[in-house]
């Protein structure tokens, strides 16, 4: 069985963004996805990147087992450690109760309801600061050797995951 995490596959970006209810601008947005035996099973897209400040993330899955600890770690390591943002945002239509619940389980906090953003419902906006992200402390073994210890980051290998 082949199981890969892929960085910035444009086709995956469009599919994940559509499922998440957002647009994917291939010149500006980024995608991290997971394939099993060549089939896309889920991932995330990032948009609204403000260098050193913040970024917005949108998750979507196409299989009940799409999210692994490794994928979660990569999805949070990329914006917080590689891009250096201080804060991530997740915004979800209030009618997508599964996505709201998933974002809260991931650790996004302080849900804020913004009225009349969508034609038929409100927007739920959540945030997470880097120091609040529990996933950054759970480094998958295959990535530990590339991080240069607890206080430094070496160049990360791109052979096995596309990163």
**CATH for 87:** 3.40.630.30
Pair type for strands 54-61 and 87-93: parallel
Which residue from 8, 2, 3, 4 is spatially nearest to 82, judged by alpha carbons? 8
Please state the rounded mean pLDDT for residues 25-39: 95
Q: What is the pLDDT of residues 47-78, one digit of tens each?
A: 999 999 999 999 999 999 999 999 999 999 99
Query: What pLDDT sits at residue 146?
Result: 57
At 156, is the pLDDT very low, low, confident or very high (cuts 50, 70, 90)?
Answer: very low
Query: What pLDDT sits at residue 138?
Result: 84
Please state the rounded mean pLDDT for residues 7-15: 97
Query: What pLDDT sits at residue 139?
Result: 78
Residue 123's Cα: distance from chain center in Å? 19
Q: Specify if 156 maps to a domain.
A: no
Which residue from 17, 26, 86, 27 is spatially nearest to 57, judged by alpha carbons? 17
Q: Specify if 162 maps to a domain.
A: no
Query: What pLDDT sits at residue 158?
Result: 36
At 142, is the pLDDT very low, low, confident or very high (cuts 50, 70, 90)?
Answer: confident
Q: Specify if 74 maps to a domain.
A: yes
Q: 117 burial class (0-12, 13-18, 19+ CB within 10 angstroms)? A: middle
Query: What pLDDT sits at residue 54?
Result: 98
Q: Specify if 152 maps to a domain.
A: no
Question: How many domains, in total, are found in the chain?
Answer: 1
d(CA 9, CA 133): 25
- Residue 162 pLDDT greater than 60, yes or no: no
CA distances from 105 to 47, 89, 98, 128 (A): 21, 14, 11, 12
Q: Specify if 31 maps to a domain.
A: yes
Q: Is the model more confident about 73 or about 163? A: 73
CA dihedral 130, 59, 126, 136 (to 10 degrees): -20
Q: Which domain holds residue 23?
A: 3-144
Q: Specify if 95 maps to a domain.
A: yes
Query: What pLDDT sits at residue 17?
Result: 96
Q: Specify if 149 maps to a domain.
A: no
Query: What pLDDT sits at residue 152?
Result: 42
d(CA 114, CA 128): 17
Q: Specify if 153 maps to a domain.
A: no
Q: Specify whether the CB–CB gap between 31 and 43 falls below 8 A.
A: yes
Q: What is the pLDDT of residues 79-131, one digit of tens each?
A: 999 999 999 999 999 999 999 999 999 999 999 999 999 999 999 999 999 99
Q: Rounded to two decimals, what is the model's pTM?
A: 0.83
């Amino acid at each position: 069985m082949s199981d890969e995490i892929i960085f910035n596959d444009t086709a995956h970006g469009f599919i994940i963004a559509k499922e998440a209810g957002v647009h994917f601008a291939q010149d500006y947005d980024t995608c991290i996805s997971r394939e099993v035996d060549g089939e896309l099973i889920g991932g995330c897209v990032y948009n609204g990147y403000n260098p050193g400040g913040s970024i917005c993330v949108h998750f979507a899955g196409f299989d009940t087992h799409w999210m692994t600890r490794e994928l979660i770690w990569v999805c949070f390591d990329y914006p917080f450690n590689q891009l250096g943002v201080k804060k991530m945002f997740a915004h979800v239509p209030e009618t997508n109760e599964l996505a709201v619940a998933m974002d809260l389980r991931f650790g996004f906090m302080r849900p804020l309801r913004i009225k009349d953003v969508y034609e038929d419902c409100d927007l739920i906006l959540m945030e997470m600061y880097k120091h609040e992200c529990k996933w950054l402390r759970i480094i998958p073994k295959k990535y530990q050797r590339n991080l240069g210890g607890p206080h430094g980051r070496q160049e990360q290998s791109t052979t096995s995951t596309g990163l």
